[in-house]
Amino acid sequence: MKPKIIVIEDEAILRMDLKEMLTDAGYDVIAEGDNGEKAIELAHQFKPDLMIMDIKMPKMDGLKASRIIAKQSKTPILMLTAFSQKEFVEDAKKANVLGYLVKPISEANLVPAVEIALSQAQQRVQFEDELLQKDKKMNARKQIERAKGVLMKVKKLNEQAAYEKMRNFSMKQQVSLERTANAILKKYANDM
Ligand SMILES: [Mg+2]
């Protein structure tokens, strides 16, 4: 599937150029806007793979908009900037701004920047996913330990026997050790 991109730029001609360059490069420009407020609205509505946003815009500038968007979603942002605005962008990187592109924009600098931003965004998602998986595994291990403790106490078993009882039950019922542990914890909740 084509990556979905939203373009926010107040200069209409540049916005049109960007849209054309992106479309030619195989991206799907799903929405566009010309100020920060619109950017917030569109990011929320479309959840794009990437938002390309100008800094200097009427109503609300791109930096402020990116900070607000970061609080609401994980929408990655590539900033468009004039050379003199570099220091502002460094500040914005703390939020969800993955990079910036200095004007004038050409296909030669746009497409690689978009590719890098998209792959960074994907890496970030993967990394967060890995953290979540690790967290889940750790929780499962904790539950298993707790259930083992409960069995030892209720059934007066030693650690090895309690563990084997759980493992045998899991194998027989063809459920995970974690599910067995949760069932044990639930069953003996009142005995503890
Ligand atoms: Mg502008």
What does the pLDDT average to over 62-86? Answer: 87
pLDDT tens track for 133-168: 999 999 999 999 999 999 999 999 999 999 999 999
Q: What is the pLDDT of residue 82?
A: 83
Q: What is the CA(9)–ligand 1 centre distance, in A?
A: 6
The packing angle between helices 36-46 and 62-72, to 10°, is: 30
> Which strands form 50-54's sheet, in the order they lie side by side?
28-33, 4-8, 50-54, 77-81, 97-102
- Give the integer Cα–Cα distance in Å for 139 and 134: 9
Asked if residues 150 and 188 have their Cβ atoms less than 8 Å apart, the reply is yes
Q: How confident is the model at residue 57 (pLDDT cuts 50, 70, 90)?
A: very high
Quote the ligand 1 centre to 185 CA distance (angstroms).
59
Q: Give residue 92's pLDDT.
A: 61
Cα of 55 from ligand 1 centre, angstroms: 6
Mean pLDDT of 48-59: 94
* The pLDDT of residue 113: 94
Neighbours of ion ligand 1 (CB under 5 A): 10, 54, 56-57
pTM for the complete prediction? 0.73
Asked if 143 and 182 touch (Cβ cutoff 8 Å), the reply is: yes
Task: Report the separation in Å between the CA atom of 107 and the middle of ligand 1, taken as the mean of its atom positions.
Answer: 19
CA distance 167 to 5: 49
**7 CA from centroid of ligand 1 (Å):** 12
User: For residue 129, what pLDDT is reported?
Assistant: 87
Confidence of residue 88 (pLDDT cuts 50, 70, 90): low
> How much of the chain, in percent, has pLDDT values that exceed 90?
79
Residue 155 structure tokens:
């059934």
Q: Lowest-pLDDT range, 23-32, 54-63, 90-99, 182-191?
A: 90-99
- What digits encode the pLDDT tens for the residues 117-131? 999 999 988 888 899
The number of CA neighbours under 13 Å toward the Cβ of 155 is: 19
Domains of the chain, CATH where assigned: 4-105 (3.40.50.2300), 131-191 (1.10.10.10)
Q: What is the pLDDT of residue 139?
A: 93
- For residues 68, 73, 75 and 80, what is the CA-based torsion angle, rounded to 10 degrees? 0
Residue with tokens 């468009």: 80
Ligand 1 centre to CA of 64 (Å) is: 14
Q: Is pLDDT above 70 for 101?
A: yes
pLDDT, tens digit, 9 for 90 and up, residues 160-192:
999 999 999 999 999 999 999 999 999 998 776
Instruction: Share the mean pLDDT of the chain.
Output: 91
